[in-house]
């Protein structure tokens, strides 16, 4: 068998994530996509799985207590001749780091909007992130079975607030109790809504042609006004243009109700047809094309103890080019070392399983024994590194207080692993043995405390600490750097990877330090390099 990748295998990959404000319906839509993709048999399974996991892992209990979703996973399923990779992202804002990194691993995104609420704050933030890489976006306006805002008004809001032009593909016929169906503007077909329709894909009846007698009869009293409305929409909104969509300047818009399986097949069909396959990616040296023969990829996420029975840690690697086959050797660029990979995982049908091959666009799960960090690049020997994997500046700091000093080793181990995952950042001051944690939100500290207890049997609490912000210190002049190390010793620390960090107690102190050391570079984040 030839070793190189097959172009068809690569071009049929569709790797994407769903972005939305909490409660808009991301979980429900995910479940319906998996259902229609044949990845799961019955609706309710995603939530059912959640519940099953809760039962086996106490750490998930935190999720349950808080009513939030903090884990994320990868699901793969075939649909209409394509291979879809859906990367789930945690919904809570304290976990946005994880979400942002996941968005660097996709080729497109699906935005879910609640028809009653319109564009919400979290959607705005996520759109900003997708914009950094000009990620193409499809839009699903959900919960049509409830009273919502005027469709035109929703499109106006998306255009104004998110600064992207909207091309409606389907258009609602009524809303809430008055919902009759959706009209497909391109197919010229009505999809009839039946409340509580829980069937599989394609069970909704259709009527061809809006100007047919059947349509007149179906629409009844609203026939004329609806036809006028459609004419208005066609006149006012741009037509769907694949080029504009792929350039992230236009978003095709679909209406529906995820919970009622309504409008989802139309969305999925369009998605696999139009969404981009694997895209070229930037590295430190050159642009990597997906069709290149040699494999390359980067790690965007590490998750520990996914399966409490195994206590394993999985590094999620996005394959950017080439093909993986079981047993191949991969070059870990940062360490300059080769590794033989026998047991990589893929995520077909929402279940982890060992795989023999995977292609650019796919996500591989690599067992991690502490040698893989977020941002690491793997190749077949070339020394290049993928860029643009964000690492966020911590905004909150706490000192770890260990209840039982004999558990120090376990604490260190736990913190090292949580750091690797990007769940928190650890700073070790040069002047003492304190352990200072940095996070972007309060919830992160709660999760760290919970997991230290649950997974490492370490009871820890957190004290306030006099740190306002952290800056990673870089300098070309070794003498200057040494001088700084001596003069600023009191406020210096090492991070998880051993990089030098200045912990400024106040804003003024930071300002003065920046002025006093103009030859040094104070960065808000550590580069994943
Ligand atoms: P999220 O992942 O974006 O946070 O949203 P999720 O799917 O959990 O949906 C949030 C709530 O909205 C859920 O109700 C869900 O059932 C409901 N929902 C999703 N899609 C639709 C829809 O098309 N129509 C209507 N009317 N509701 C929808 P919940 O009461 O919070 O949870 P549950 O008890 O139903 O599980």
Phi, psi of 378 (to 5 degrees): -120, 140
**Average pLDDT for residues 31-43, to the nearest whole number?**
71
> How many angstroms separate the Cα of 370 from the Cα of each of 302, 419, 427?
10, 11, 18
Question: Binding site annotation covers 238?
Answer: no
Question: Binding site annotation covers 143?
Answer: yes
Distance 28 CA to ligand 1 centre (A): 6
Q: Is the separation of the CB atoms in 198 and 171 below 8 Å?
A: no
Distance 257 CA to ligand 1 centre (A): 10
pLDDT tens digits for 182-210? 999 999 999 999 876 555 555 679 999 99
The pLDDT value recorded for residue 240 is 97
CA distance 494 to 484: 14
Lowest mean pLDDT among 55-64, 429-438, 476-485: 55-64
- What DSSP string describes 31-96? HHHHHHTTSSSSTTHHHHHHHHHHHH-THHHHHHHHT------EEEEEETTEEEEEE----SGGGH
Q: Is the separation of the CB atoms in 383 and 286 below 8 Å?
A: no
Lowest mean pLDDT among 54-63, 307-316, 367-376, 396-405: 54-63
Q: How confident is the model at residue 311 (pLDDT cuts 50, 70, 90)?
A: low
* Residue 215 host element (H or E): helix 213-219
The pLDDT value recorded for residue 69 is 38
Distance 202 CA to ligand 1 centre (A): 22
Q: DSSP alpha helices (H): ranges in 105-188?
A: 121-132, 151-162
Residue to probe by mutation, ligand 1, list 19, 25, 110, 117, most atoms within 8 Å of CB: 25
Q: Ligand 1: which residue has its CA nearest to atom 24?
A: 143
Q: Is the separation of the CB atoms in 162 and 124 below 8 Å?
A: yes
pLDDT tens digits for 469-481? 999 999 999 999 9
The pLDDT value recorded for residue 294 is 96
The pLDDT value recorded for residue 100 is 83
Higher per-residue confidence, 91 vs 521: 521
- Report residue 336 as tokens: 């300059």
Buried b or exposed e, range 68-93, using 16+ CB within 10 angstroms: bbbbbbbbbbebeebbbbbbbbbbbb
CA distance 412 to 409: 5
Distance 482 CA to ligand 1 centre (A): 57
Distance 271 CA to ligand 1 centre (A): 22
The pLDDT value recorded for residue 418 is 85
CA distance 461 to 312: 25
ipTM over 0.90: yes
Question: Binding site annotation covers 209?
Answer: no
| Average pLDDT, rounded, for the chain | 86
Lowest mean pLDDT among 73-87, 168-182, 279-293, 507-521: 73-87
Has residue 382 got a pLDDT over 90? yes
Provide the β-strand partners of residue 252. Answer: 167
The pLDDT value recorded for residue 137 is 98
**Average pLDDT for residues 325-346, to the nearest whole number?**
89
The pLDDT value recorded for residue 6 is 82
Query: Nearest-CA neighbor of 157 among 126, 125, 113?
Result: 113
Distance 170 CA to ligand 1 centre (A): 21
Q: Ligand 1: which residue has its CA nearest to atom 9?
A: 25
The pLDDT value recorded for residue 313 is 77
Number of residues that make up the chain: 529
The atom number, within ligand 1, closest to the CA of 91 reads: 4
CA distance 470 to 487: 17
Find the residues whose C-beta lies inside 6 A of ligand 1: 20, 22-28, 91, 142-143, 145-146, 257-260
Query: Nearest-CA neighbor of 142 among 293, 9, 58, 262?
Result: 262
Has residue 486 got a pLDDT over 90? yes
Has residue 84 got a pLDDT over 70? yes
177 DSSP assignment: G
Has residue 270 got a pLDDT over 90? yes
The pLDDT value recorded for residue 51 is 43
Question: Binding site annotation covers 145?
Answer: yes
**Average pLDDT for residues 503-508, to the nearest whole number?**
95
The atom number, within ligand 1, closest to the CA of 258 reads: 23
Has residue 172 got a pLDDT over 80? yes
Q: How confident is the model at residue 447 (pLDDT cuts 50, 70, 90)?
A: confident
Please tell me the pTM assigned to this model: 0.82
Question: Binding site annotation covers 91?
Answer: yes
Residue to probe by mutation, ligand 1, list 17, 20, 23, most atoms within 8 Å of CB: 23
Q: Ligand 1: which residue has its CA nearest to atom 17?
A: 25
Question: Binding site annotation covers 142?
Answer: yes
Q: Ligand 1: which residue has its CA nearest to atom 14?
A: 23
Q: CA torsion angle for 16, 21, 25, 27 (degrees, to 10)?
A: 60
Question: Binding site annotation covers 88?
Answer: yes
Question: Binding site annotation covers 92?
Answer: yes
- Radius of gyration over every alpha carbon of the chain, rounded to an integer in angstroms: 25
The atom number, within ligand 1, closest to the CA of 47 reads: 36
CA distance 307 to 69: 17
Residue with tokens 């106040």: 506
- Report residue 295 as tokens: 């494999």
Has residue 155 got a pLDDT over 50? yes
Higher per-residue confidence, 155 vs 417: 155
Has residue 161 got a pLDDT over 90? yes
CA distance 14 to 34: 14
Phi, psi of 226 (to 5 degrees): -65, -40
Distance 320 CA to ligand 1 centre (A): 34
Q: How confident is the model at residue 4 (pLDDT cuts 50, 70, 90)?
A: low
Question: Binding site annotation covers 446?
Answer: no
Residues 6+ apart with CB under 8 A from 334: 373, 376, 377, 385
- Report residue 380 as tokens: 């077949």
The pLDDT value recorded for residue 89 is 78
Residue to probe by mutation, ligand 1, list 67, 113, 177, 259, most atoms within 8 Å of CB: 259
Q: How confident is the model at residue 527 (pLDDT cuts 50, 70, 90)?
A: low
Distance 235 CA to ligand 1 centre (A): 34
């Amino acid at each position: 068998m030839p070793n190189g990748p097959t172009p068809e295998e690569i071009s049929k990959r569709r790797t994407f994530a769903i972005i939305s404000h909490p409660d808009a319906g991301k979980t429900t839509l995910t479940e319906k996509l998996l259902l229609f993709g044949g990845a799961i048999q019955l609706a309710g399974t995603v939530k059912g799985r959640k519940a099953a996991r809760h039962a086996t892992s106490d750490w998930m209990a935190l999720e349950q207590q808080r009513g939030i979703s903090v884990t994320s996973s990868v699901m793969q399923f075939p649909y209409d001749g394509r291979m879809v990779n859906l990367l789930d992202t945690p919904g809570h804002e304290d976990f946005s780091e994880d979400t942002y990194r996941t968005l660097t691993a996709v080729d497109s995104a699906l935005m879910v909007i609640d028809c009653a609420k319109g564009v919400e704050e979290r959607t705005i933030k996520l759109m900003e992130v997708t914009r950094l890489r000009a990620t193409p976006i499809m839009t699903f306006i959900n919960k049509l079975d409830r009273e919502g805002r005027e469709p035109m008004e929703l499109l106006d809001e998306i255009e104004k607030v998110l600064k992207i032009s909207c091309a409606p593909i389907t258009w609602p016929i009524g809303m809430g109790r008055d919902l009759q169906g959706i009209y497909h503007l391109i197919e010229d077909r009505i999809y009839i809504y039946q409340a509580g329709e829980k069937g599989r894909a394609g069970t909704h009846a259709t009527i061809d042609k809006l100007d047919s007698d059947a349509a007149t009869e179906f629409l009844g009293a609203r026939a004329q006004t609806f036809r006028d409305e459609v004419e208005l929409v066609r006149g006012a909104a741009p037509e769907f243009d694949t080029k504009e969509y792929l350039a992230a300047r236009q978003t095709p818009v679909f209406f529906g109700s995820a919970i009622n399986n309504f409008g989802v097949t139309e969305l999925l069909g369009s998605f696999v047809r139009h969404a981009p396959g694997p895209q070229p990616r930037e590295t430190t040296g050159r642009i990597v094309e997906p069709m290149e023969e040699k494999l390359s990829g980067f790690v965007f996420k590490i998750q520990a103890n996914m399966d409490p029975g195994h206590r394993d840690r999985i590094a999620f690697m996005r394959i950017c080019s080439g093909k993986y086959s079981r047993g191949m050797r991969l070059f870990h660029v940062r360490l300059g070392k080769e590794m033989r990979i026998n047991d990589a995982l893929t995520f077909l049908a929402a279940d982890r399983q060992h795989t023999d091959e995977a292609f650019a666009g796919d996500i591989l799960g690599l067992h991690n024994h502490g040698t893989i960090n977020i941002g690491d690049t793997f190749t077949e020997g070339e020394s290049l590194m993928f860029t643009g994997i964000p690492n966020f500046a911590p905004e909150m700091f706490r000192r770890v207080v260990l209840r039982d000093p004999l558990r120090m080793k376990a604490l260190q181990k736990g913190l090292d692993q949580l750091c690797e995952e990007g769940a928190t950042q650890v700073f070790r001051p040069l002047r003492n043995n304190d352990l200072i944690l940095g996070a972007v939100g309060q919830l992160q500290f709660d999760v760290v405390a919970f997991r230290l207890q649950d997974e490492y049997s370490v009871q820890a609490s957190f004290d306030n600490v006099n740190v306002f912000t952290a800056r990673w210190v870089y300098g070309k002049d070794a003498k200057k750097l040494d001088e700084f190390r001596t003069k600023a010793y009191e406020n210096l620390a090492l991070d998880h990877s051993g990089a030098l960090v200045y912990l400024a107690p106040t804003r003024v102190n930071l300002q003065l330090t920046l002025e006093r050391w103009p030859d040094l570079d104070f960065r808000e984040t550590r580069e994943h390099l």
